[in-house]
Amino acid sequence: MKLYFAPGACSLSPHIVLREAGQPFDLVQVDLREKKTKDGSDFTKVNPKGQVPVLETDDGDRITEGPVIVQYVADKAPASKLMPGAGRERYRAQEWLNFITTELHKNFGPMFRPTTPDAYKEISRNTVLGRFKWVDSQLAGRPYLLGDTFTAPDAYLYVMTRWANGMKMDLTQFPNLKAFADRVAARPKVQEALKAEGLA
> How many Cβ atoms are within 10 Å of 124's Cβ, its own excluded?
19
The reported pLDDT for the residue numbered 160 is: 98
The Cβ of residue 74 has, within 10 Å, a number of other Cβ atoms equal to 23
Quick one: pLDDT at residue 89? 96
Whether the pTM exceeds 0.95: the reply is: yes
Q: Which residues of 75-108 are buried (b: 16+ CB within 10 A; e: fewer)?
A: ebbeebbbbbeeeeeeebbbebbebbbebbbebb
The CATH number of 2-80+189-196 is 3.40.30.10
Residue 20: per-residue pLDDT:
98
From the candidate CATH numbers 1.20.1050.10, 1.10.20.10, 3.40.50.1000, 3.30.1050.10, the one assigned to the domain spanning 88-187: 1.20.1050.10
Q: Measure the CA–CA gap between 61 and 69, rounded to whole angstroms.
A: 12
Q: What is the pLDDT of residue 155?
A: 98
Residues 77-101 have pLDDT tens digits of: 999 999 999 999 999 999 999 999 9
pLDDT digits (tens, 9 = 90+) for 64-78: 999 999 999 999 999
In this prediction, residues 42-58 reach a mean pLDDT of 97
Could you tell me which of 53, 61, 56 has the C-alpha nearest to residue 14?
53
Query: First-to-last CA distance in the chain?
Result: 24
Q: Please tell me the predicted confidence (pLDDT) of residue 15.
A: 98
Classify strands 62-64 and 54-56 as parallel, antiparallel or unpaired.
Answer: antiparallel
> Given this model, what pLDDT does residue 28 score?
98
What was the pLDDT predicted at 14? 98
- Angstrom distance (rounded) from CA 55 to CA 32: 16
Residue ranges of the domains in the chain?
A: 2-80+189-196, 88-187
What's the mean pLDDT when you consider all of the chain? 97
Tell me the pLDDT band of 6, cut-offs 50, 70 and 90. very high
The answer to whether the Cα torsion of 45, 116, 161, 188 is positive or negative is positive
- Report the C-alpha gap between 2 and 51 in whole angstroms: 15
